[in-house]
Amino acid sequence: LFAGQSEFLKGVVAMSGLPPADRIEVCFAGRSNVGKSSLINALTGTKGLARASNTPGRTQEINFFTQGPELYLVDLPGYGYANAPLAVVEKWQRLLKQYLSGRQTLRRAFVLIDTRHGVKKVDEEIMKLLDTSAVTFQVVMTKADKVKEKDRAKILDQVRDALSKHPAAYPEIVLTSSEKGDGIATLRSIIAHLD
């Protein structure tokens, strides 16, 4: 699945703009700056594909990337960005709900959690939304390179505890670093085995 080329297809701001649901799709959700775009770049091995920036909240649209002919990788807008105007937040929340509950080919959502911070309130909210939308989700820990191995267990316990409350949660947690490449092959394999 990851052998082919990856390309940015389009940014979507309304359901009418969604590309044809003609292939498997996975999406990446997470707080602003958690590392969604960087993870997509790492998975596809294409630097600069999904714009990774230091400015939080820059990815405002649902961004579709093709990975070969059989897979879409979908970069969702970052949530929990305090400076975004309420109207903007509400608009994308509406779109997100419609997308999550209405997309037939969506196989799994990956909820990205910063290894330094663990599950926050806004993450809980997105997990609840995934529960109610009946979208199986799996947690991907990001920026693992920023946390020493001995300090990871405590955060992982907190994440496991949070997941236990969510019926749509897939229990396996994937620890990644887009910077160092840790966990990237594992995540590719997980995606490749979805059907």
Rounded Cα distance between 34 and 91, Å, is 21
| Shortest Å, Cβ 91 to Mg ion | 18
Q: Does residue 80 belong to the site contacting ligand GTP (CB under 6 A)?
A: no
Rounded Cα distance between 164 and 100, Å, is 21
Provide the mask over 88-127, with x wherever binding to Mg ion is found by CB under 5 A and - wherever it is not.
Answer: ----------------------------------------
Of the pair 57, 191, the CB lying nearest ligand GTP is at: 57
- For residues 17-36, which are near ligand GTP according to CB under 6 A? 30, 32-36
Taking every pair of C-alpha atoms in the chain, what is the biggest distance, in angstroms?
Answer: 47
Of the pair 66, 115, the CB lying nearest ligand GTP is at: 115
Of the pair 47, 193, the CB lying nearest ligand GTP is at: 47
Q: Does residue 59 belong to the site contacting Mg ion (CB under 5 A)?
A: yes
Under 8 Å between Cβ of 40 and 28: yes
Rounded Cα distance between 89 and 80, Å, is 9
| β-bridge pairing 137-142 and 169-175 | parallel
Range in contact with ligand GTP (rule: CB under 6 A) among 50-58, 83-91, 128-136, 166-174: 50-58
Q: Does residue 37 belong to the site contacting Mg ion (CB under 5 A)?
A: yes
Total residues at interface with ligand GTP (CB under 6 A): 23
Indicate which single residue of 119, 177, 183, 191 sits in contact with ligand GTP (rule: CB under 6 A): 177
Indicate which single residue of 145, 160, 166, 188 sits in contact with ligand GTP (rule: CB under 6 A): 145
Report residue 61: phi and psi, to 5°: -115, 170
Closest to 178 in 3D by CA, of 73, 36, 58: 36
Q: Which class for 111: exposed (0-12), middle (13-18), buried (19 or more C-beta within 10 A)?
A: buried
151 by DSSP, 3-state: which?
helix
In angstroms and rounded to an integer, the radius of gyration of the C-alpha atoms of the chain is 15
Q: Does residue 146 belong to the site contacting ligand GTP (CB under 6 A)?
A: yes
Interacting residues with Mg ion (CB under 5 A) = 36-37, 59
Interface ranges with ligand GTP (CB under 6 A): 30, 32-38, 52-54, 56-59, 78, 142-143, 145-146, 177-179
